[in-house]
Amino acid sequence: MFLPHMPDVVRCELSLRELNQMWRLIESSAKMNCPAEARLLLPAMIATRTGFAHLEQALVANLVQEKVRHVLADLGTQARYAIDLLVRNLFERTADVGFLATDADLCRFVAGLDHDQAAARQRLHDYRDKYTVYDEILLLDLDGRVLVQHDSASPVSHSADPLLAQTLDTDGYVETFRATDLRPGKARALVYSQRMLHPETGAPAGVLCLCFHFEQELDAIFRAYRDPSQRANMLLLDAQDQVISSADPLWIPAGVRMPTNTGAETRLQMFGGREYLVRTFGSAGYQGYPGPAGWKAQLMMPVDLAFRGHAASALDAVEPALLRGLLSHAEAFSPSLHELMSSVTRTTRTIERIVWNGKVTSAANDHGNAGKLNTVLDQITETGERSDALFSHSIQDLYQTVLASSLSEAGLTAQLLVDMLDRNLYERANDCRWWALSAQLRRGLAQPSDAAHAAIAAVLRHINSLYTVYARLLVYDRGGRIVACTGGDELVGQYIAGDTLSRVSALRSELDHYAEPFGPSAFYGGAATYIYHAAIRHPEHSGTVVGGIGIVFDAAPELLNMLHSGVAGRPNMQAYFVAPDGRVLAGTDDAYPTGAQLQLDGGLLALAADGASASVTRILQHRGQYVIAACSRAVGYREFRAADGVEQPVLAVLLQAFGPVREELPPQAGVRIERLSDSGADYAIFYAGRTLMALRAAHIQEAVPFARVQRTAGNGHPARVGMLDVPLSGGHKHFVWVFDLALLATGRPGAVSDNSQVMLVRQGTATIGLLVDDLHSVQQFDAADMTGSPLGHGELALAPRLIKANQGQLLIQEIDLERLYERLRA
C-alpha cells in the first residue's frame, strides 16, 4: 500500500528485476557456449541468482519499512513536543489562578469591603501586563454579576455559566473549555476559575476567572513545531478525537472527528477521501497536572506527499571520511539494513570468488573453450558488480536518509529544549514582578514590624505551596537584609549581595526585573541556579523602593526534567544547557556536571550563539565517538528576552553517539587494473597486508573463505594459523596447513575479516593454504610488464619482482613460490 507512493523504490525494484533477467541469460549463455565448464559454474550461479532474488524482496521490504518508520517518527516527535509544551504552559495557569484568587486587594473588593472599581481594574491591568498569556480577567460576585473586567472591548455584565456554581463548590481551581457567556463572540474559551474568600469571615465572596489566550498560544506552537515543508497538518484534538484547533483550518477545520494513531501503527488512515500517515500523542502530565482531559496533539501527512523529501541533501556538506566512519556503525542505528547490507556483501564476495576460481581454473587448463568461459565469467563479474552497486547505492541512500532524519530530529529537540527553558523563565520573570506588587509585602516593608514580617512570611509560604518550581522565596528590605523566606528561617537576618541590591534598587518600573547570572548561590545550598529579583515599592509612593523579592529557581531537578523530556529515553543521547562559552548549566551526562566545560569541534557553540541561524546541526567527533550534534540558541518567548542584556544567553546542546571513531576505516572500492592485451602468463591478483600481490595462476588450485579454517594452537611455524580440509575424489579429505602470507611477506600479521580468503597453492606434490586479505582478479602480463623490486634483493625476499600494471602507475608484488616454500621449510 506504500510502494506506489515511493517512486525511488519502484525504480529500484524494476532495476532489480532487470538484473534477475540478466542472471538467467548468463546461465543460458554458459550452457550453450561452454557446457562442460558450465557444469561446474551453474550450481553456484543458480544459488547466486536465487540469493539475489531473496535479497531483492528483502531490500524492497526494508526500503519501504524504513521510509515509513522515519516519517512516522518525525511526525511523532513534533506531536509529542507540541502537547508537552502546551501542558507545561497550562500547568502554570493553575498556579496563577490559585495565587491571584488570594490577592488581598482584590478579595477586599469582591467582598464589598473596598468599592474602588478603578483601582481593582488597574490591578487587573497590572497583572495582565506581567502575564500576557491572558486575554481576559474577570471578577464576579456570588450571583454571577461581573464586578470588574480587564477587556473593556468585550463588556460582560452578568454570567449564568454553570462553571460559577462549580467553582464556588470547589476548593481549588476549575478548568473549563467550551463556549461561555464570559467571552461573548468567541466560539470557545479556556477559563481557569477559583473562588475568592472574604478576608474577614473566610466565606466564599466571589469568583476569579482567568481566560487563557488559547488561539495565540496554539498559533505559536504550530509555527514552531509544524512540518516546515507544510506537507503535514498539526492538530489539537479533544477526548472525542474532534479537532479543537488546526494549523491549517482551510485543510482540516475545527470540529471534525479525526482518525488517530496513538500506537505508532504503520497503517494508513482515511480522511476526506485521502490516505494519511498519522501520529497522535497525549500528555504524560507535568508536576502532577495531567492537562485537559483527553487532549492530544496529532500530525497528519498525506501518503502521496510523505516520501517526496530530499533529506539526504542535508549530508552533502559532511566530510566524506567522517560520513564513512559514521556509516561503519550502521548496525547501531539501523540493524535490519545493516544485516541486509551484510548479506549483499557476502553474496557479492561469493560471486567474486566464483569468477576468480573460474579464471584460475581456465588459466591452468588452457583449451579451446577458455575464451568462451572467460567471456561468461566476465559477464558474471559485470552483472555481479551491477547488482552490488544497485543494492549498495539503495541501502547507502537509505542510511543517509536515516542520518538526515536523525539530524533533523536532534535539531528539533534542541529547539524544543531552549523553547521550554524560555517559557519557564518567562513565568519566573512574571512571578517575581507580580509578587512584588503584593499589598502585604509592600505594607510590610514600608511599615516594618515583627508582625508585618510574619505576615510576609505567611504570604511567601502560601505562594511556594502553589509554585513548586521554587526552592525558596525571600523578601529583603532596602538595606538588603532578609526579613522573611521559605525553606527554613536560617537566612533571616542575612544580607543579599551588594551588587544585587544595587541593581534591584535601580529598576525603573514594576515591569522590570533583575536576573542574577546562573551560578552557585548560598540561597541554594551552594549549588548553581537562577534567582530572579523585582523591586518592592512603597504602597503610596511608587517611586520609592522599600526592598525586593528574590525567587530561587529549583534549577537542579527542573532543568534536568526539561532535558530528560527532550531525550525521552532515547539511547546514547545526552542533552545539556550551556552558556555560549561552553560552561555547563545542566546536563544528563554525568561526565559533564554543572560548571564543567563542554568542548565541541567545528565551532558549533559559536555558530549557534552568534550565527545568523539560531540552530545548527553537525556530524562530528566528540570524546572518541561519532556523534550527531545539535545546538540551538534561546531566542525568547513573547516579550521575554526582548530587551538586550537582561537575560543570560543560553544554548541547548544535544549529542547522539553512534559508535567509537574508527582508527582504520573499511577499505573503499578496490583498484581497477586495465587489461591492455590478451598475451602473456596468467597471474592471480590478491591483497595481503593491504598490498596488491600476485602469484602465477598455474600454481593455484582454488580460493575458499577463511571461515572454513580450523584454528590450531601449538609451537609450530609462527605464520601458521590453522588447517583446512580439502576434499579429494572418493569422498576422502586431505588436510593442509594454512599460513599468513602477510606475516611471511611483510613481517606484520594480516588482519582477519569477513573478506579474508585462503588460496590453495600447489608446488610439486605439496599443497598449502595462504591467508590473504581479499581476492582481486586474474590478469595476463608478459615479460615487458616485469621489473626488479628495490626491496627484493637477497635470497629471503619473497617478492623479487614487480608487475607494472596500468602503464606503470600501479605496482604489484609477485610472490616467488619457490622462495616461499623454502622459507616454510626453514
Determine the Cα–Cα distance for residues 195 and 181; give it in Å rounded to an integer.
18
Q: Among 81, 18, 240, 3, which Cα is nearest to 632's?
A: 81
383 occurs within a structural domain: yes
716 occurs within a structural domain: yes
Using the 3D structure, point to which of 378, 408, 438 is the last residue of a domain. Answer: 408
**More confident call, 685 vs 715:** 685
pLDDT of residue 390: 84
416 occurs within a structural domain: no
211 occurs within a structural domain: yes
Using the 3D structure, point to which of 408, 432, 454 is the last residue of a domain. Answer: 408
Residue 152: phi and psi, rounded to 5, are -75, -15
Do both 60 and 108 map to the same domain?
no
77 occurs within a structural domain: no
Determine the Cα–Cα distance for residues 695 and 817; give it in Å rounded to an integer.
8
Burial of 259 (0-12, 13-18, 19+ CB in 10 A): middle
Q: Is the pLDDT of residue 675 over 90?
A: no
Determine the Cα–Cα distance for residues 246 and 233; give it in Å rounded to an integer.
7
189: containing domain: 103-216
Amino acid at 630: A
Q: Which residues pair with 189 in a beta bridge?
A: 178
Do both 396 and 346 map to the same domain?
yes
Determine the Cα–Cα distance for residues 51 and 46; give it in Å rounded to an integer.
8
pLDDT of residue 291: 94
Highest-pLDDT range among 82-91, 597-606, 666-675: 82-91
Q: How far is CA 40 from its chain centroid?
A: 51
727 occurs within a structural domain: yes
Number of domains in the chain: 3
pLDDT above 90 as % of the chain: 54
pLDDT of residue 545: 96
Please report which confidence band the pLDDT of residue 422 belongs to, taking 50, 70 and 90 as the band edges.
Answer: very high
pTM comes to 0.79
Do both 116 and 46 map to the same domain?
no
Q: What is the pLDDT of residues 266-299, one digit of tens each?
A: 899 999 999 999 999 999 898 889 999 999 999 9
What CATH number corresponds to the domain at position 118?
3.30.450.20
Q: What is the pLDDT of residues 807-820, one digit of tens each?
A: 888 999 999 999 89
Q: What is the pLDDT of residues 749-768, one digit of tens each?
A: 988 888 899 999 988 888 99
Do both 686 and 767 map to the same domain?
yes
197 occurs within a structural domain: yes
Whether 728 and 734 have beta carbons less than 8 Å apart is answered as: yes
pLDDT of residue 666: 54
What CATH number corresponds to the domain at position 375?
1.20.120
**More confident call, 478 vs 601:** 478
Determine the Cα–Cα distance for residues 580 and 616; give it in Å rounded to an integer.
13
- Determine the average pLDDT of the residues in 71-89: 91
721: helix, strand or coil: strand
469 occurs within a structural domain: no
Please report which confidence band the pLDDT of residue 314 belongs to, taking 50, 70 and 90 as the band edges.
Answer: low
Highest-pLDDT range among 114-123, 354-363, 611-620: 114-123
Determine the Cα–Cα distance for residues 346 and 334; give it in Å rounded to an integer.
18
Edge-first strand listing for the sheet containing 545-553: 482-485, 470-477, 545-553, 531-537, 514-515
What CATH number corresponds to the domain at position 789?
2.40.50.180
Do both 700 and 798 map to the same domain?
yes
pLDDT of residue 180: 96
Determine the Cα–Cα distance for residues 73 and 405; give it in Å rounded to an integer.
9
Using the 3D structure, point to which of 387, 408, 429 is the last residue of a domain. Answer: 408
**Residues 209, 210, 214, 215: what is their CA dihedral angle, to the nearest 10 degrees?**
90
Determine the Cα–Cα distance for residues 120 and 537; give it in Å rounded to an integer.
18
Do both 209 and 119 map to the same domain?
yes
pLDDT of residue 55: 84
Which residues have a Cβ under 8 Å from the Cβ of 803 and sit 6 or more positions away?
683, 694, 781, 785, 786, 811, 812, 813, 814
* Least confident piece of the model among 251-255, 667-671, 769-773: 667-671
pLDDT of residue 639: 79
Determine the Cα–Cα distance for residues 522 and 154; give it in Å rounded to an integer.
48
Determine the Cα–Cα distance for residues 374 and 367; give it in Å rounded to an integer.
12
- Indicate the angle between helix axes 370-435 and 7-33, nearest 10 degrees: 160
pLDDT above 70 as % of the chain: 94
Do both 792 and 693 map to the same domain?
yes
Q: Is the pLDDT of residue 653 over 80?
A: yes
Please report which confidence band the pLDDT of residue 437 belongs to, taking 50, 70 and 90 as the band edges.
Answer: very high
Do both 690 and 764 map to the same domain?
yes
Do both 12 and 59 map to the same domain?
yes
Q: What is the 3-state secondary structure (H, E, C) of 126-195?
A: HHHHHCCCEEEEEEEECCCEEEEECCCCCCCCECCCCHHHHHHCCCCCEEEEECCCCCCCCCCEEEEEEE
Do both 699 and 781 map to the same domain?
yes
Do both 33 and 119 map to the same domain?
no
**More confident call, 715 vs 27:** 27
98: helix, strand or coil: helix
Q: What is the pLDDT of residues 768-797, one digit of tens each?
A: 999 999 999 888 888 888 888 886 566 668
Residue tagged 539494513 (cell numbers): 337
How many CB atoms are closer than 10 A to CB 32?
Answer: 11
- Determine the average pLDDT of the residues in 47-56: 82
Do both 693 and 821 map to the same domain?
yes
